[in-house]
Amino acid sequence: MQVIQNKMKKIFLIVSLIIFSLGAGFAQKSEIGAFVGTSFYIGDLSHSTIFSECGIAGGVVYRYNFTPRWALKANIMFAKVHASDAISNGSYERNLSFKSPITELSVQAEVNFLKLYNQKGYNRFSPYVFAGIAVFSFNPQAELNGKTYDLQPFGTEGQGLVPGKKEYALCSFAIPFGIGLKVNIGRYVSLGAEWGVRFTCTDYLDDVSGTYFDNDELRLQRGDIMADLADRSPEIGKELHKNGSQRGNFNTTDFYSFCGGTITFKIGNEDHICDLKHKVSVRHKLGRKR
């Protein structure tokens, strides 16, 4: 996990430098600011209930406005997601739970429904849609007897014990998309609200995907803690899981979501499109007077 964190820190630094370089080089159409909101997850431990067991989310936003209709946005996002069978699935005998920090780097294209300007006399608000690509790190964890354990190294579904079944990666790709609303306040500030979903390329955001491994073998090979984390049904008086029985749904992948508000500040605050239209109009009027 430390290696993944170090890699993400390096990527974070590189992307931050790129963002600030872009801000300096394209000041006239750039915005930089922050996102604050909430996050939630949908997967094997929370099948369909949105905004269930929400966590805190926040990040840094950079936007470059190519035209009044579309922009390119870069995000660095941080969040925590969690879920449990006890809350999301009622009295489900599996009795599993997890929590995971998420660090995401993404690039998204935004398309405004209305032309958006920051000058008086022009339209200052617009709903929009966005889509892009993201890379993110995660680390599913669970609590047992008051202690928190990283689940991936334990191989709770037999990873590392079954031939050809390797540990899953703690870094993956996602496709972000969603909707939002932007409002320009004066010439320098833009407020926004958006809801975005991330379809991931992993089914292990929650450490649950396939089938149960032989719990006696897990206990023998890797100890009591691992075996207790892999099958938690005995904690609620259930001991029904056998080797090969269903633990998760490997036919689907997990996804997570961000919902919140943004505030961005315009750098340079010049709109060449508006300026160009204004100059053309002035020249046309001067030409008529002559």
246-273 pLDDT, tens digit per residue, is 888 888 999 999 999 999 998 865 544 4
Global pTM exceeds 0.85: no
- Indicate the burial class of 285 (C-beta count within 10 angstroms; 0-12, 13-18, 19 or more): exposed
Q: Are 115 and 22 in contact (CB under 8 A)?
A: no
Judged against a pLDDT cut of 60, whether residue 23 lies above it is answered with no
Judged against a pLDDT cut of 60, whether residue 8 lies above it is answered with no
Q: How many CB atoms lie within 10 A of CB 123?
A: 13
pLDDT at 120: 81
The domains of the chain are located at 2-289
Residue 195 phi, psi (nearest 5):
-130, 120
Q: Class of the 2-289 domain?
A: mainly beta
